[in-house]
Structure 1
Amino acid sequence: MREFIMPLGYRFEPTDEELIRFYLSEKAFGQPLPRSFIMEKELYGDNANPWDVFSDTDPWKTETKFDENETKSIKNTIFVFTKLSKISPKRISRKAGCGLWDGQTGAITINDSQ
């Protein structure tokens, strides 16, 4: 896979509304997506161990920062399209190989500003 290099200083930080309007809706209707940092990956299932899902050839960088106390923090924001597997009408299976992906937030409402 060819690495996608963004211009110096560019940050891919779309809002939830922008993700839905310009990426998810296009994907749902089978339209081609603009070149971006949103990838398609199988995150769930028996063969989806987190350390096997992502590779060094994926087009993102890990941002490492140090604060005034030289405490290291790592920021990883990754946008991925994946297929979900439902356990029941209200529950999604988060099994990933030998573990689980943590659902850190519940459902949130995203309103259309237009």
Structure 2
Amino acid sequence: MEVESGNFNSNNKTKEQAGFFNKPPGYRFLPTDEELIVFYLEKKAWNQPLPINNIVEVNLYAHNPDFLAAKYKDYQEDQLYIFTPRDRKYRNGRRPNRAAGDGYWKATGADRKIKSKGTVVGYRKALVFYIGKAPKGKKTNWIMHEFRVEDSPCSGRGSNGMRVCSFSSFY
């Protein structure tokens, strides 16, 4: 499910059509965890129109983060935001397949609940990228936060639930 770099949101507008290059000085796309879930991921899951955003749609798990950061450098500021389908390790299983290009993403803790108006609307999981094969991969400076909706039409067993991921490199 690779979407070319010109089509970056569910409305299939190019960056220029959506005003990507016409943002006012000082504008930054830095949504909170709650905003990512409520205004972007929930709407994407329910096929509703999205507000203008800097979220690209690509299969994150098909590529090394260095490749994605270079390919989508015009979209990112400090972080790159990506809509990506969830890939399962086994067809009928629940375990996610987090292999990515020449490495893999490894979870680094428990899911964090994201609330809106006191109700859990989604979850955030932190992951770190390793080069090589598990469990002997070499840890890199890439960190990712994977967000998922609490309840959506694509969250059922056996489906490829949509995720939004933000990732950045740390030093």
Does TM-score exceed 0.5, indicating one fold? yes
Q: How does 1:8-19 map to 2 (within 5 A)?
A: 8-19=25-36
Deviations 1:5-44 (A, max 9, x none): 2211112221111111111111011122122111111111
Secondary structure, aligned partner of 2:88: strand
Give, in whole Å, the separation in 2 of the partners of 1:99 and 1:85: 15
Partner of 1:99: 103
Q: Which runs of 5+ in 1 are unaligned?
A: 62-75
Give, in whole Å, the separation in 2 of the partners of 1:12 and 1:105: 26
Higher relative contact order (CA 8 A, sep 6+): 1
Q: Mark the structure with the bigger radius of gyration.
A: 1
Name the % identity: 40
- Could you tell me which amino acid in structure 1 is paired with residue 84 of structure 2? T
Query: TM-score, structure 2 length as denominator?
Result: 0.49
Partner of 2:88: 86
Bigger fraction of residues in strand: 2
Q: Which runs of 4+ in 1 moved over 2 A?
A: 49-54, 101-106
Q: How does 1:11-90 map to 2 (within 5 A)?
A: 11-45=28-62, 48-54=63-69, 55=71, 58-61=74-77, 76-87=78-89, 88-89=93-94
Deviation (angstroms), 1:84: 1.3
Give, in whole Å, the separation in 2 of the partners of 1:56 and 1:22: 22
- Could you tell me which amino acid in structure 1 is paired with residue 26 of structure 2? G
How many residue pairs match? The answer is 97
Query: TM-score, structure 1 length as denominator?
Result: 0.69
